[in-house]
Structure 1
Amino acid sequence: MRYLLNVLLVLLCLFGTMPLVQADSQTDALYVSIGQAIAAVQANDRPALETAVARLAQQVEQLKTSDEKTVIQKELTRLQDQQDEPFSKISPALTRLSTAVRALEKTATKTDPAAKQRLNALFLQTDQLREAKTAAERQQLQSKLLAAWTDRETIVRETSIGHYGQVEMGLSAIRIALAREPFDETEFNGALDQFDQSIQSFLDGDAVKDVEKTGLPALTTLLKQADRSLDQGDIKAAKQSLTTFITRWPSGEGEVRTRSNALYTTIESDIPVLLSRISAETRVSTQDELRPIIASLQVLEQKTTYTFVDAMLVMLREGLEALLIISALVAFTRKAGIKGERLIWSGAVVGLLASGGLALLIQSFFSTALAGVGREQIEGWTGLVAVLMMLVVGSWLHSKTVLTSRKGQLATAFVGRSLFAVSFLTIFREGAETLLFYAGMAPAMTPLALTSGILLAIGLITVVSVAVIYFGVRLPINRLFLAATILIYVMAFKILGASLHALQLTGSVSMHVLTSVPSVPWLGFYPTYETILPQAALGLFIIVTVIWKRQSAVRLRQAG
Structure 2
Amino acid sequence: TAYVRSHPEVTVAANGPGGLGLARTRLQESLAAARAGDQANATRLGLSAYLDGFEPLEPALRARNQVLLTEVENSMLAYRGALASGKLEQADAAAQKLDYLFAQVDSELGADKADPLTTFIASLTILLREGVEALLIVVGMVAFLKKAERRDVLAYVHGGWIVALACGGLTWAVATYFVSISGASREVTEGVSSLFAAIVLLSVGLWMHQKSTAGKWQAYLKEKLSAAMTGRSAWALFALSFIAVYREVFETVLFYSALAGDGNNGALLGGLVGGLAVLAVIAWLMLRTSARMPIGKFFSLSSILVAVLAVVLAGKGVAGLQEAGWLSASPIHWPRIEVLGMYPSAETTIAQAVVLIIALAGFALNSVRARQPRST
TM bracket, shorter-chain basis = 0.7 to 0.9
User: Contact (CA 8 Å) 1:331, 1:473: kept in 2 or not?
Assistant: yes
Tell me which amino acid in the other structure corresponds to 2:247.
R
Which residue number corresponds to residue 65 of structure 2? 260
User: Contact (CA 8 Å) 1:389, 1:418: kept in 2 or not?
Assistant: no
1:404-434 Cα shifts (integer Å, max 9, x gaps): 5876434344654443332211110011221
Paired with 2:228 and 2:274, the residues of 1 have a C-alpha distance of: 40
User: Contact (CA 8 Å) 1:497, 1:525: kept in 2 or not?
Assistant: yes
1:233-289 Cα shifts (integer Å, max 9, x gaps): xxxxxx999765433332111212233334434433454136646875898899789
Tell me if 1:496 matches 2:314.
Answer: yes
Tell me which amino acid in the other structure corresponds to 1:391.
L
User: Contact (CA 8 Å) 1:250, 1:376: kept in 2 or not?
Assistant: no
Residues 542 and 521 of structure 1: is their aligned pair in 2 closer, same or farther, counting only changes over 3 Å?
same
Paired with 1:321 and 1:276, the residues of 2 have a C-alpha distance of: 30
Give 3-state SS (helix, strand or coil) of 2:374's partner: helix
Which residue number corresponds to residue 559 of structure 1? 375
Tell me which amino acid in the other structure corresponds to 2:77.
P
- Higher Cα Rg: structure 1 or 2? 1
Alignment of 1:236-247 (within 5 A): 245-247=49-51
Instruction: Give, in angstroms, the shift of residue 183 of structure 1.
Output: 7.4
Of the three residues 363, 371, 375, the one matched with 1:546 is: 363
Which residue number corresponds to residue 312 of structure 1? 124
Give 3-state SS (helix, strand or coil) of 1:456's partner: helix
1:130-163 Cα shifts (integer Å, max 9, x gaps): xxxxxxxxxxxxxxxxxxxxxxxxxxx7xx9637
User: Contact (CA 8 Å) 1:330, 1:344: kept in 2 or not?
Assistant: yes
User: Contact (CA 8 Å) 2:59, 2:259: kept in 1 or not?
Assistant: no
Tell me which amino acid in the other structure corresponds to 1:511.
A
Which residue number corresponds to residue 478 of structure 1? 296
Paired with 1:509 and 1:398, the residues of 2 have a C-alpha distance of: 32
Tell me if 1:527 matches 2:336.
Answer: no
Which residue number corresponds to residue 394 of structure 1? 205
Which residue number corresponds to residue 372 of structure 1? 183
Paired with 1:525 and 1:186, the residues of 2 have a C-alpha distance of: 28
Alignment of 1:165-314 (within 5 A): 172=26, 176=30, 184-185=37-38, 245-247=49-51, 248-273=53-78, 276=81, 294-295=103-104, 298-305=107-114, 307=116, 308-314=120-126
Paired with 1:242 and 1:520, the residues of 2 have a C-alpha distance of: 24
Tell me which amino acid in the other structure corresponds to 1:302.
A
Give 3-state SS (helix, strand or coil) of 1:559's partner: coil
Of the three residues 380, 404, 420, the one matched with 2:238 is: 420
Tell me if 1:352 matches 2:168.
Answer: no
Tell me which amino acid in the other structure corresponds to 1:395.
L
Paired with 1:524 and 1:443, the residues of 2 have a C-alpha distance of: 28
**Structure 1 length-normalised TM:** 0.54
**Structure 2 length-normalised TM:** 0.77
Give 3-state SS (helix, strand or coil) of 2:130's partner: helix
Instruction: Give, in angstroms, the shift of residue 309 of structure 1.
Output: 2.7
Which residue number corresponds to residue 79 of structure 1? none
The alignment yields a C-alpha RMSD, in angstroms, of 4.1
Residues 240 and 357 of structure 1: is their aligned pair in 2 closer, same or farther, counting only changes over 3 Å?
closer
Residues 399 and 186 of structure 1: is their aligned pair in 2 closer, same or farther, counting only changes over 3 Å?
closer
Tell me which amino acid in the other structure corresponds to 1:298.
S
Alignment of 1:54-73 (within 5 A): 72=2
Tell me which amino acid in the other structure corresponds to 1:519.
R
Which residue number corresponds to residue 214 of structure 2? none
1:380-399 Cα shifts (integer Å, max 9, x gaps): 11112111221232223222
Tell me which amino acid in the other structure corresponds to 2:343.
Y
1:19-63 Cα shifts (integer Å, max 9, x gaps): xxxxxxxxxxxxxxxxxxxxxxxxxxxxxxxxxxxxxxxxxxxxx
Compare relative contact order (CA 8 Å, sep 6+) and give the higher one, 1 or 2: 2
Alignment of 1:436-447 (within 5 A): 436-447=254-265
The unaligned stretches of length 5 or more in structure 2 are 212-216
Tell me which amino acid in the other structure corresponds to 1:365.
F
Tell me which amino acid in the other structure corresponds to 1:345.
H
Paired with 2:322 and 2:39, the residues of 1 have a C-alpha distance of: 26
1:348-395 Cα shifts (integer Å, max 9, x gaps): 11111122223322333333xx44333322211111211122123222
User: Contact (CA 8 Å) 2:26, 2:49: kept in 1 or not?
Assistant: no
Percent identity, aligned pairs only, is 24
Paired with 1:547 and 1:525, the residues of 2 have a C-alpha distance of: 25
User: Contact (CA 8 Å) 1:398, 1:549: kept in 2 or not?
Assistant: yes
Paired with 1:185 and 1:271, the residues of 2 have a C-alpha distance of: 19
Which residue number corresponds to residue 285 of structure 2? 467
After TM superposition, the structure 1 stretch with the greater mean CA deviation from structure 2, 536-545 or 283-292, is 283-292
Residues 396 and 420 of structure 1: is their aligned pair in 2 closer, same or farther, counting only changes over 3 Å?
farther
Residues 170 and 546 of structure 1: is their aligned pair in 2 closer, same or farther, counting only changes over 3 Å?
same
Paired with 1:493 and 1:186, the residues of 2 have a C-alpha distance of: 33
Paired with 2:258 and 2:64, the residues of 1 have a C-alpha distance of: 12
User: Contact (CA 8 Å) 2:124, 2:272: kept in 1 or not?
Assistant: yes
Tell me which amino acid in the other structure corresponds to 1:325.
I
Residues 418 and 161 of structure 1: is their aligned pair in 2 closer, same or farther, counting only changes over 3 Å?
same
Give 3-state SS (helix, strand or coil) of 1:252's partner: helix
Residues 98 and 536 of structure 1: is their aligned pair in 2 closer, same or farther, counting only changes over 3 Å?
same
1:288-324 Cα shifts (integer Å, max 9, x gaps): 8985785366234314245333322221121122113
Tell me which amino acid in the other structure corresponds to 1:529.
A
Which residue number corresponds to residue 510 of structure 1? 328
